[in-house]
Amino acid sequence: MTGKKSINTFLFAAAIFAAAAALNFFSGPVPLSRDIIALRLIRLSMAVTAGAGLAVCGTVFQALLRNPLAEPYILGVSSGAGFGAIACAVFFGGAVFLPIPAFIGALITIFAVYYLSRSGGRTPIHSLLLTGIVINVIFSSFILFLISTATTSVLHDATWWLLGNLQIFDTRLLAFISVLTVCGGLVSFFYSRELNAISLGEEEAIHLGIKTEQVKSILFLVTSIVTAALVSACGLIGFVGLIVPHISRALSGPDHRKLIPTAAAFGATFMLISDAISRTIMLPAELPVGVITAFLGGPFFLILLKRSQRLKSK
Amino acid sequence: MNQLLEVKNINAGYTGRMVLKNISLSARAGELIGIIGPNGSGKSTLIRAMSRTLKPEGGEILLDGRDIYAISPLESARSIAVVPQDTLIAFEFLVRDIVMMGRIPHMRRFSRENASDLAAVEKAMELTETKNLSGRLINELSAGERQRVIIAKALAQEPRLLMLDEPTSHLDIGHQADIFDLVRRQCDRGSLSTIAVLHDLNLASEYCDRVLLLNNGLLIANGTPSEVINKKNIEEIYKAGIAVDKSPQSAKPHVFLVPKTRDM
């Protein structure tokens, strides 16, 4: 890409991002007061962090698993977090700050999946996937069990958390998650060329001089921890980690040196718009943002799938 | 004569099952070596052991006299390139991006492609006749085109040693010849040595300087095609009725299958 063209592309992306941020900031039923501005800014920052973070984690997962259907929740991080949060809500009521038990639950899942799937110094992708999916099922059954025994108010809290919500109130939580996400994004970007090589296959990457097992372990742990933090704070925001990497790949090509920044920018923009819609479409009620991302993302994914099927049959 | 690669008494395999037993071999600059043997004899495992994807248990593998597991992976990737049997790529990379990945071991992490990278890619694509595919998507190519692109990637690595694992088993006779003519020419220039696993005995006989015959993880024979590919060796190890004659063109041994069901 020539210098001028890439600057133009960058300016264009920046303009769309700014427009989405403005849309997100100004949309809402109440006039802007001091407190509302503070809340909006926290929410806007959370949307940017969650959108960019989930998109980058999804991109990395798809490359590591060499599976375009992979997404950040596939290895059970989300159900681990869900179990942590809901168990706490059931046993201690609303008194506990839910993101903390959720984060602990997610971390336990990550390390369980990682250690159970390792054998002889290697982490084979198929055993990682299988272990992740089984852990996911186990924790989901725990969640269903807890929900079936829960009272109505706990049930409402738990469901609301599960559906995904970007409004957090604690700036320390926001700072923690943002720092973690930025670090995770930088680590992923640092390993761009390793991800390119691993997209061809693990042995092919070794032949190109990549320390495949080491890179896989680092990236799996880093992106899982970022996902854990995001899920703990915002609940289950679906489809962003699956769809955004696909659209970004169509925009920038599969080279991770371009793909990772593109996915981050596109994920943030997508989340800002989804959040603006979720706050205003059913006034005075507010929809969980996860409903909007899935509602927009689902059909889009089907169109993408159909298109690629047509390409293949040609 | 200095050896480029020396394999000394390696054992290698998978948990609880040793596939290779006490294998030794060596490769000089410019040599084209074929590895033949029946299914399950350990040919691919040998390639995996020599290309650092499967660490041998015991024995050593020396590149220029140095243990390949003692040098960095990037350094050994600057000397050794591998072409697997078939490469399935899930993402829509352009052909030129794939070939450029061969430059990974030569490039610094975030540096842009410099003139020598571009020149190596250009040359590799010229040799493999893949320049016309440059802007196509890798997953839309035919098997033969894709394999040529993967070979271009390996050549862009500018290796001194190329390892091929049945690189032409999915290709027709014309494409097989193209690929081995290319490899043979590079070896004759002295710039490259090649170790190729081959299913096709006649291909091995026609192109290789030396042929290694494996059976049950043991090295049975190591010599010129005329020394190794004879009726006794092949019948005994492949358990097939064969006849061996000479190619009318090259006078190299060629193997003919003799069916057991009919009287000839």
pLDDT 10s digits, A34-49? 888 888 889 899 999 9
Q: Bridge partners of B202? A: none
The DSSP code sequence of A35-86 is HHHHHHHHHHHHHHHHHHHHHHHHHHHHHHTT-TT--TTTTSHHHHHHHHHH
Tell me the pLDDT band of B15, cut-offs 50, 70 and 90: confident
| Residue B263 lies inside a defined structural domain of this protein | no
Give the number of other Cβ atoms within 10 Å of residue B134's Cβ.
16
In the sheet where B66-67 sits, what is the strand order? B17-27, B5-14, B60-63, B66-67
Residues B171 and B190 in one domain: yes
List the one residue out of A290, A179, A311, A293 whose CA is nearest residue A244. Answer: A293
Checking if the pLDDT of A156 tops 90, the result is: no
What is the Cα–Cα distance from B139 to A249, expressed in whole angstroms? 15
What is the Cα–Cα distance from B95 to B146, expressed in whole angstroms? 9
Section A88-100 average pLDDT:
75
Please provide residue B31's backbone torsions phi and psi, each rounded to the nearest 5 degrees: -85, 145
Tell me the shortest Cα–Cα distance from A55 to chain B, in angstroms.
17
Tell me the pLDDT band of A1, cut-offs 50, 70 and 90: very low
CA closest to A254 among chain B residues: B93
Average pLDDT in chain A: 86
Residues B134 and B147 in one domain: yes
Question: Are residues B51 and A206, on separate chains, in Cβ contact within 8 Å?
Answer: yes
What is the Cα–Cα distance from B101 to B99, expressed in whole angstroms? 5
**Option in A68, A200, A211 nearest B87 (CB):** A200
Structural domain containing residue A26: 3-313
What is the Cα–Cα distance from B151 to B22, expressed in whole angstroms? 30
Residues B152 and B210 in one domain: no
Query: At residue A36, what is the residue type?
Result: I
Q: Over the stretch B43-92, which tens digit does the pLDDT of each residue have?
A: 999 999 999 988 898 889 999 889 999 999 999 999 999 998 877 787 88
Section B245-249 average pLDDT:
89
**Option in A197, A211, A249 nearest B101 (CB):** A197
Residues B150 and B54 in one domain: no
Checking if the pLDDT of B263 tops 60, the result is: no
**pLDDT for residue A309:** 65
What is the Cα–Cα distance from B2 to B162, expressed in whole angstroms? 17
Domain count, chain A: 1
Section A76-102 average pLDDT:
82
| Residue B235 lies inside a defined structural domain of this protein | no
Domain count, chain B: 2
Tell me the pLDDT band of B262, cut-offs 50, 70 and 90: low
What is the C-alpha R_g of chain B? 19
Please tell me what DSSP assigns to residue B140: G
Which position has the higher pLDDT, B210 or A314? B210
Residues B149 and B177 in one domain: no
**Option in A66, A206, A209 nearest B53 (CB):** A206
Among B114, B132, B157, identify where a domain stops.
Answer: B157
Please provide residue B160's backbone torsions phi and psi, each rounded to the nearest 5 degrees: -95, -20
Q: Which of A48-57, A95-104, B78-87 has the lowest mean pLDDT?
A: A95-104
Tell me the pLDDT band of B158, cut-offs 50, 70 and 90: very high
Q: Over the stretch A169-195, which tens digit does the pLDDT of each residue have?
A: 788 889 999 999 999 999 999 999 999
Instruction: Using an 8 Å CB-CB cutoff, list chain B residues near A207.
Output: 51, 53, 77, 80-82
Residues B208 and B137 in one domain: no
pTM score: 0.89
Among B120, B135, B157, identify where a domain stops.
Answer: B157
A47 near A24, Cβ under 8 Å? yes
Residues B113 and B3 in one domain: no
Checking if the pLDDT of A100 tops 90, the result is: no
CA distances from A293 to A235, A236, A237, A244, A255 (A): 13, 11, 7, 10, 26
Which position has the higher pLDDT, B177 or A313? B177
| Residue B44 lies inside a defined structural domain of this protein | yes
Tell me the pLDDT band of A310, cut-offs 50, 70 and 90: low
CA distances from A71 to A166, A237, B61 (A): 20, 12, 40
Residues with Cβ within 8 Å of residue A21, at least 6 apart in sequence: A44, A48, A272
Residues B74 and B20 in one domain: yes
The pair of three-digit structure tokens given for residue A282, joined into one six-digit string: 């059913």
| Residue B238 lies inside a defined structural domain of this protein | no
**pLDDT for residue B163:** 95
| Residue B140 lies inside a defined structural domain of this protein | yes
**Option in B91, B102, B110 nearest A249 (CB):** B91
CATH number at residue A28: 1.10.3470.10
Section B178-205 average pLDDT:
91
Tell me the shortest Cα–Cα distance from A28 to chain B, in angstroms.
40
**pLDDT for residue A314:** 45
What is the percent of chain A with per-residue pLDDT over 90, rounded to a whole number?
37
Instruction: Using an 8 Å CB-CB cutoff, list chain B residues near A216.
Output: none
List the one residue out of A209, A228, A84 whose CA is nearest residue A142. Answer: A84
Among B142, B157, B172, identify where a domain stops.
Answer: B157
Average pLDDT in chain B: 89
Tell me the shortest Cα–Cα distance from B36 to chain A, in angstroms.
22
| Residue B112 lies inside a defined structural domain of this protein | yes
Question: Are residues A193 and B51, on separate chains, in Cβ contact within 8 Å?
Answer: no
Q: Which helix (H) or strand (E) holds B109?
A: none
Question: Are residues B101 and A67, on separate chains, in Cβ contact within 8 Å?
Answer: no
Residues B205 and B116 in one domain: no
Q: Which of A267-276, A287-296, A297-306 has the lowest mean pLDDT?
A: A297-306
Structural domain containing residue B139: 90-157
Q: Over the stretch B191-203, which tens digit does the pLDDT of each residue have?
A: 899 999 998 999 9
- SS3 for B94? strand
Instruction: Using an 8 Å CB-CB cutoff, list chain A residues near B91.
Output: 63, 68, 199, 249, 254
What is the percent of chain A with per-residue pLDDT over 70, rounded to a whole number?
96
Residues B71 and B196 in one domain: yes
CATH number at residue B43: 3.40.50.300
**pLDDT for residue B46:** 93
ipTM: 0.90
CA distances from B185 to A80, B177, B194, B207 (A): 58, 12, 11, 10
What is the Cα–Cα distance from A239 to A45, expressed in whole angstroms? 20
CA distances from A80 to A61, A73, A101, A145, A153 (A): 18, 10, 10, 14, 22
Section A80-97 average pLDDT:
80
Query: At residue A191, what is the residue type?
Result: Y
| Residue B256 lies inside a defined structural domain of this protein | no
**pLDDT for residue A308:** 66
Residues B75 and B165 in one domain: yes
CA closest to A120 among chain B residues: B15
Residues B5 and B49 in one domain: yes
| Residue B245 lies inside a defined structural domain of this protein | no
Tell me the pLDDT band of B133, cut-offs 50, 70 and 90: very high
